[in-house]
Amino acid sequence: PLGILEGLKTIKSFKPHVVIGLGSYSALPVMVAGILKRIHRVIQEQNSIPGLTNRLLAPFAHKIFISFETTAQHFPKDKTVLTGNPIREGLCGERGKAPHDATHLLVLGGSLGAHFINTLCMAVLPDLLARHPKLEVTLQTGKQDLPAAQKAFEEYGGRVHVEAFIEDMKSAYQRADFVIARAGATTLAELAACGLPAILIPFPYAANDHQTENARYYASRGGAILMPQSEISEETFTKTLENLLTDPEKLQAMATKMKALGHPEAAESIATTLLSLAAPTGSPS
């Protein structure tokens, strides 16, 4: 109740024409306030499996934006639109090429890094680097694993770039030929828009295991390889990487399929619909 009162105060002060909820628990009272004030309501579901807040709000929304085609089954068909997830403007420029026709691997674990992925890469990549002299790696570790990763790869000099956090993602994506990452919705939207094939290791403790379902969507359409964390060994991980490094045609085919799943126009599409709803056409129900 207090949250709804705060939502009503915010609406009275801001006087919005449209209220949009992104699925967090904090969005619920504001959206309920929007219902009470009869303001147009929109929700956006970023993941393949809708969270509780968006499932509760769906019957009261005028439009529902989804990022995965399969998510449509959870929402009313007549007001659900596949837009994809908005990504940062100008993120996907012209793809560069690593020096000397090298293959460049980008490893991401989210903004804080992923200890499991870091540990796995520190165990497996040195041997691959030794056997594949044209392999180059950029590894985002997060602060905690940075010293250990720097030590693990110190002998490979300019071929391995280890950073706690990558500030310039546009350049990182332009250099990359393929990616190892978790399966968060924003990361996947960026990889797809940029046409970057990926080995996806979903975070196994995400709500409703939605990262696994996110990853399965891209893997089943040929743009990625799904490797559940509980099933990975150093041997299977090495074999998967080896297969990609020795089969550039497969990498290119995956890149093409990944690109086809991208929605670089998602922000524009959502904004256009919001402006249409905000137009003065009478009071919504």
16-48 pLDDT tens trace? 999 999 999 999 999 999 999 999 999 999 999
Place 197 in a pLDDT band, splitting at 50, 70 and 90: very high
- The domain spans of the chain are 2-85+264-278, 99-260
Confidence bin at 101 (pLDDT 50/70/90): confident
**Residue linked to tokens 């690109």:** 259
Q: Tell whether the model's pLDDT for residue 97 goes beyond 90.
A: no
Structurally, at CATH architecture level, domain 2-85+264-278 sits in: 3-Layer(aba) Sandwich (3.40)
Torsion, Cα 243 248 250 256, to 10 degrees, reads: 140
| Residue of higher predicted confidence among 275 and 94 | 275
Residue 150's pLDDT is: 96
> Which pLDDT tens digit goes with each residue over 51-93?
999 999 999 999 999 999 999 999 999 999 999 999 999 998 7
- Work out the number of other CB atoms within 10 angstroms of the CB of residue 187: 21
- Alpha-carbon distance 242 to 59, whole Å? 48
Query: Which 8-state DSSP code applies to residue 159?
Result: G
Domain topology for 99-260: Rossmann fold (3.40.50)
| Cβ neighbour number for residue 245 with a 10 Å cutoff | 18
For residue 98, pLDDT beyond 60: no
Task: Over range 255-281, report the average pLDDT.
Answer: 95
pLDDT band, very low/low/confident/very high, at 111 (cuts 50, 70, 90): confident
Residue 94 has pLDDT above 90, yes or no: no
Read off the amino acid at residue 71. T
Q: What is the pLDDT of residue 95?
A: 66
Q: pTM for this structure?
A: 0.94
Q: Do domains 2-85+264-278 and 99-260 have the same CATH topology?
A: yes
Chain mean pLDDT for the chain: 94
